[in-house]
Amino acid sequence: DAERLGGALLKHVREAGLRTSWTEQDGAYEEEVRRFVAAGPCGAALGGRLAELRAELAPYIRANVLGGALLHLTMPGVPDVYQ
């Protein structure tokens, strides 16, 4: 989702404080960050390929997560399942 990724990246760029910050914002630089996100990882060309890759890897990722949960629940001691 371009909006979420753009917001997160902009937050990190501002917190780094190299070219823009929360108190001294550089509108031109922040707009370039938004354009980068729209054209790059969330753009139409790459976004479609990433969605295909995510769909292809989903069963394997799910198996890894469930395997980790199984190990966690079968280790000695009381498992922490609060979250």
Q: What percent of the chain has pLDDT over 90?
A: 54
Q: 1 pLDDT band (50/70/90 cuts)?
A: confident
What average pLDDT score do residues 13-17 get?
A: 96
The answer to the question of residue 82 being in a domain is no
The answer to the question of residue 80 being in a domain is no
Q: What percent of the chain has pLDDT over 70?
A: 92
The answer to the question of residue 62 being in a domain is yes
Rounded-to-integer distance, Cα 51 and Cα 72, Å:
30
Rounded-to-integer distance, Cα 20 and Cα 22, Å:
7
Nearest to 42 by CA among 83, 9, 77, 19: 9
Give per-residue pLDDT as tens, 19-70: 999 999 999 999 999 888 888 766 666 777 778 888 999 999 999 999 999 9
Domain count, the chain: 1
The answer to the question of residue 47 being in a domain is yes
The answer to the question of residue 27 being in a domain is yes
Q: Which domain holds residue 68?
A: 2-74
The answer to the question of residue 83 being in a domain is no
Rounded-to-integer distance, Cα 65 and Cα 68, Å:
5
